[in-house]
Structure formats: structure tokens, C-alpha cells
Amino acid sequence: MSSAQVQGCPVRHGRDDRKSARLADANLQPAKNARVVGSFAAAREILRSPKVRQAGASADQIDLSRPEEISFFFLDGDKHRKRRAAVAGLFAPKTIVTRHRAVMDRTMDAIVADLQGRGSAPLDELSWQMAVDVAAEIVGLTESDSNVNLANRVKAVLDSSVSRKPGFLNTLLFNAKMIPRVGKFWKHDLAPAIEARKRQPKDDVISYMVKENYSKKGMIMECLSYGGAGMMTTREFIVMAAWHLFEKPELRERFLTGGEDDQFAILEEILRLEPVASLLHRKAAEPVEGTQGASVQEGETVCVSIREANTDEAITGPCPYELDPDRAKRMKVVGPYLSFGDGPHRCPGAQVALHETRVFLDRLFRLPGIRLVSEPEIQWNPQIQGYELRGAVVACDPA
């Protein structure tokens, strides 16, 4: 990329390659009374501090007195670490290469056959298939009537859960919507998977929960957290990365000829500019005074702006809005910056997401005649405070 050579790029100037920034600027809503932190160093220090607690996704309304019945996402400290550690191996690089890669390849074979047969297809439909198949395998949701139906049921529950509001009437409305949706997920997806794992355990999240005698509620919460996050976020990122590559022939050429490390560097740089999650909230249980600028009073809630931190020139160098795959190596920074969060709550599926995106795009862009027939429309999802890309259509030559 030419941007790597832009030595004299003025501060905060240079090309702006971001596609989602304007929409995010117009729609992002930090929690009420939360102080926004945009410095990369301070943000990382806060996220890594053992003195802060999860404060996102209505965490303040979660009853922590029964940790076995809530998602790992809402836990902190030892309880959180132990729950994450128990299944951490499922997300390890070696496991991705030796196990999940086969699922990715198999899914991609099906996607390619389908696309070549139809001639064209909505890109987010194809990326959704990849994200769902991989997440389902890791979690162990493999006994559903179909992965498309599984994904729709997971999405229906998550859509309800993130729009929860306080108050008696709102709680009644919330329950009225949520209970039947959870019931369907339990009946059609989770219960059959649990029965199958009881008969024959595998190496997945559900087998672990069966072995540890998780309650029904505990299993539902954990599966929705791992599965939902993996499905919904990866779907969007694949489309976003494809959009950039379709639009930039030099970058696409580099992606196809550069080897895996270079492919990851390109994807991570796209993700730096277009993080799927934009805000992370934390509340200080004790005062936090760091050496890198973090300062949070006891009881204060802060909102880490991933978008601001990822474009903090102190860590990116000049021209932070330009897509420059050599940036991270030059600046000696881990590629996706804060796009997967940081600290104990860092996204467990980060490497899985990058791998499936790489596999998907590597196959897609090698298809004869591959082209973007229509660009995606970028929309804002207020529930997850993130972008959604719909309407992109890709076409290729018949097999």
C-alpha cells in the first residue's frame, strides 16, 4: 500500500479509508454518565485492570448472586477466569488449525458450490453461513434441524436481550418476548445437543457444561454468549473486509499473493479501522490509577471508545485513518489494536474470526469471474451499537 510511505502526512490528515466511521459517529451512544476514554494506552490499562468490572450490555441489571446461571461475559475476577480457562483450548491457534479449519474448508466448499450454481448470491448470506457453521461446531450446537434455523433462533434471543430496559412494565414486556424465543432455542437446538453429548461427549463447550453439571439456565446463557457473538460479528466483518478488497485492486492482489501472515495483517488493519464492536463499558470497583494515563474513580463508569483508541496517533503513527497493512509491524503493535477488546474480557473467538475470514476471502477471491454486483448498504444496529452490511451481491462464473 502506498500509504505506508506517507512520511510527511500531517496530523489527523491523509486519506480516510473508513466506511463505517461516519455512521458510527452519528449513532454511537455511550452509556449515560459514562466518561469516554479514547487514548489507546489508557484504554488498554483500564481494560486490563483487575479493579474494574464489566458494565456493558445491561450488566448492572444482572443478578450476580448466582454466577452459575449467568454468562461468563458478566463475570469478573477468578470466576470469570476459571470459566474462560475451562474452554480456552477450543479457541487456541493450534485447535483452529487442527480442528476448526476443516469445518471452515467444508463450509467454504458448500458456499462455493452454491454460488457457482446460482451465479450470484447475497454476500452477507454466504458470510452468515460460514460464521454460523464454525460457531455451532465450537459450541456443540450440532443437532439442530438446520444451521440457518439455529442462527435465526439465536439472533431472535439476542435481539431481545440487548434491548432490555429497566422498570416493571418493561420487565413484563421483556419476558413476554424473551421467554418464547428462549424456549424455541432450548427445544430445537440446545436440548438435542445436550442429549447427544450425554450419550457421546465431544470436545466442545456443551460437552464441558454437561460434564460440569451446569443448570439449564446456565447452559442457555453460555451458549448464547459464545454462539451469538461468534455468529453476528463475524458475519459483518467478512462482508466489510470483502468490500475493501473488491474496491482496492492492489490490496486484493497483495491479499492473494502475500501468504497467510500478510493476509492476517491486511484483515487486522481493516478491522482496526472498522471494528464491529465500538464501545466497551467498565465500572471501577476500586480507584484505578495507571502509569499510562488511566485514572478512574471508585464507582465511576467509563466507556472505552475502540474507534478512537484504534486511531490514536500515539500508537498508530501518522495518518491513522489510512488503511496500511504494514502499520502494525512498523509500530510494533498487535494488529487489530483494541478491536477484540483487551484484558480478561478480550474476545475469546478473536483468532477464530480472523481465520474464518481469511479462509472465506481467500477462496472467494480466487473464483473465476468473481465480482461485486452491488455494494452493501451500511446500516446501524442500535441494539449492538455496531454496523450491519446488507444488500451486497457477489457473482462469479459457473463451475
Interface positions with other proteins (CB under 8 A):
48, 81, 84-86, 88-89, 91-97, 332, 334-335, 342-344, 346, 348, 350-351
Minimum distance from residue 349 beta carbon to other proteins (Å):
10
Neighbours of 10 (CB within 10 A): 9
Q: Among residues 84 and 155, whose Cβ is nearest to other proteins?
A: 84
Is residue 376 within 8 Å of residue 243, measured between CB atoms?
Answer: yes
Is residue 275 within 8 Å of residue 339, measured between CB atoms?
Answer: yes
Type of residue at 325: P
Q: Among residues 98 and 379, whose Cβ is nearest to other proteins?
A: 98
Q: Among residues 157 and 271, whose Cβ is nearest to other proteins?
A: 271
Q: How far apart are CA 273 and CA 17, in angstroms?
A: 8
Give helix then strand counts, H and E, for the chain.
Answer: 17, 11
Neighbours of 6 (CB within 10 A): 17
Minimum distance from residue 98 beta carbon to other proteins (Å):
9
Q: Among residues 94 and 199, whose Cβ is nearest to other proteins?
A: 94
Minimum distance from residue 15 beta carbon to other proteins (Å):
26
Q: What is the largest distance, in Å, between two alpha-carbon atoms of the chain?
A: 64
Query: Which of 172, 21, 381 has the alpha carbon at shortest distance from 390?
Result: 381
Is residue 222 within 8 Å of residue 234, measured between CB atoms?
Answer: no
Q: How far apart are CA 227 and CA 125, in angstroms?
A: 17
Minimum distance from residue 93 beta carbon to other proteins (Å):
4
Minimum distance from residue 40 beta carbon to other proteins (Å):
11
- Residue 4, classed as helix, strand or coil, is helix
Q: Among residues 38 and 344, whose Cβ is nearest to other proteins?
A: 344
Neighbours of 166 (CB within 10 A): 10
Q: Among residues 350 and 367, whose Cβ is nearest to other proteins?
A: 350
Phi, psi angle pair for 70, to nearest 5°: -125, 160
C-alpha grid cell, residue 71: 454468562
Q: Among residues 4 and 28, whose Cβ is nearest to other proteins?
A: 4
Minimum distance from residue 88 beta carbon to other proteins (Å):
4
Minimum distance from residue 97 beta carbon to other proteins (Å):
6
